[in-house]
């Protein structure tokens, strides 16, 4: 069974940066597109970013475009999300998701809090 384990969340000031990671196991990572999805406290789900299996093509929501960068290391089976120019409204639990158009397995998420 696929395991997705996010890390890197924490408290950061507005305007700051943070890098999230997702370590995967139990799946052939380099054949899967991957996504990041977030959920603000008490709110619904918001797709944030996605990346093709070969890492060449990336996609972003309009709310994070130009501030977040999604990347992957297929040799280490890891997915990353570099977040910069963070805003209070970026506060959320960030989930690593196996898949893009057909989003499959989800991790437990890592909590990012943007506050002064």
Partner 1 sequence: DVVMTQSPVSLPVTLGQPASISCRSSQGLVYDDGNTYLNWFLQRPGQSPRRLIYLVSKRDSGVPDRFSGGGSGTDFTLEISRVEAEDVGVYYCMQGTHFPLTFGGGTRVDIK
| Whole-angstrom distance, CA of residue 14 vs CA of residue 64 | 14
| Whole-angstrom distance, CA of residue 44 vs CA of residue 70 | 21
Residue placing its CB nearer to partner 1 in the complex, 32 or 95: 95
| Whole-angstrom distance, CA of residue 65 vs CA of residue 94 | 16
Pairing mode, if any, of strands 110-114 and 10-12?
A: parallel
Instruction: State in angstroms the smallest separation of the CB of 13 from partner 1.
Output: 27
Instruction: State in angstroms the smallest separation of the CB of 14 from partner 1.
Output: 23
- Kindly list the residues in this chain that would bind partner 1 in the complex (CB under 8 A): 35, 37, 44-47, 50, 59-62, 95, 100-109
Residue placing its CB nearer to partner 1 in the complex, 106 or 113: 106
Instruction: State in angstroms the smallest separation of the CB of 11 from partner 1.
Output: 22
Q: Which two tokens stand for residue 36?
A: 């990041």
Which residues, listed in sequence order, are joined to residue 73 by a DSSP beta bridge?
Answer: 78
Residue found by looking up tokens 């507005």 in the block: 14
Residue placing its CB nearer to partner 1 in the complex, 5 or 74: 5
Instruction: State in angstroms the smallest separation of the CB of 55 from partner 1.
Output: 17
């Amino acid at each position: 069974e696929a395991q997705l384990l996010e890390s890197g969340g924490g408290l950061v000031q507005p305007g700051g940066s943070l890098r999230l990671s997702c370590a995967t196991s139990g799946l052939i990572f380099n054949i899967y597109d991957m996504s990041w999805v977030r959920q603000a406290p008490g709110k619904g789900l918001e797709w944030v970013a996605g990346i093709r299996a070969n890492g060449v093509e990336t996609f972003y929501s309009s709310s994070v475009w130009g501030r977040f960068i999604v990347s992957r290391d297929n040799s280490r089976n890891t997915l990353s999300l570099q977040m910069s120019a963070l805003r209070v409204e970026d506060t959320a639990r960030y989930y690593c998701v196996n898949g893009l158009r057909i989003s499959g397995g989800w991790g437990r998420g890592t909590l990012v809090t943007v506050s002064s």
